[in-house]
Amino acid sequence: RKEVEQDPGPFNVPEGATVAFNCTYSNSASQSFFWYRQDCRKEPKLLMSVYSSGNEDGRFTAQLNRASQYISLLIRDSKLSDSATYLCVVLGGGNKLTFGTGTQLKVEL
């Protein structure tokens, strides 16, 4: 099983749609979880941290299920500017971030 697994997409959605991304991780000892966003040929940028209680930041909601080792990201009212690759990221020992391959989102008019 891959350390961090994501559906690569692409997800093509119309503007205003709600879209959900899922991620699973293999190491049950993982401590912290994040969603990063990466635009083409640019650096990963933190979108949000993910907590067991769930957290929301504007149109973005992240959820963590430790028992299932599952992380999700929901984007509501998607904008053209949301088009990017969304990276599921897990923090392990040595402060090492392990990245998924990313899910590509394309928001269309």
Summarize as ranges the residues that interact with other proteins (CB under 8 A).
Answer: 31-32, 34, 38, 41-46, 49, 87, 91, 93-102
CB of 4 to other proteins, least distance (A): 8
Place of tokens 């635009």: 39
Q: Which is nearer to other proteins, 11 or 78 (CB)?
A: 11
Nearest CB to other proteins, comparing residues 12 and 31 = 31
Which alpha helices (DSSP H) does 1-109 contain, by range? none
Q: Which residue in 7, 10, 4, 5 sits closest to 104, CA to CA?
A: 10
- Quick one: 32 or 61, whose CB is closer to other proteins? 32
* Closest CB to other proteins among residues 17, 101: 101
* End-to-end alpha carbon distance in the chain: 37
CA angle (23, 16, 44) in 5-degree steps: 40
Closest separation in Å from C-beta 95 to other proteins: 5
State the nearest-atom distance from the C-beta of 86 to other proteins, in Å: 12
Tokens, residue 11: 């997800």
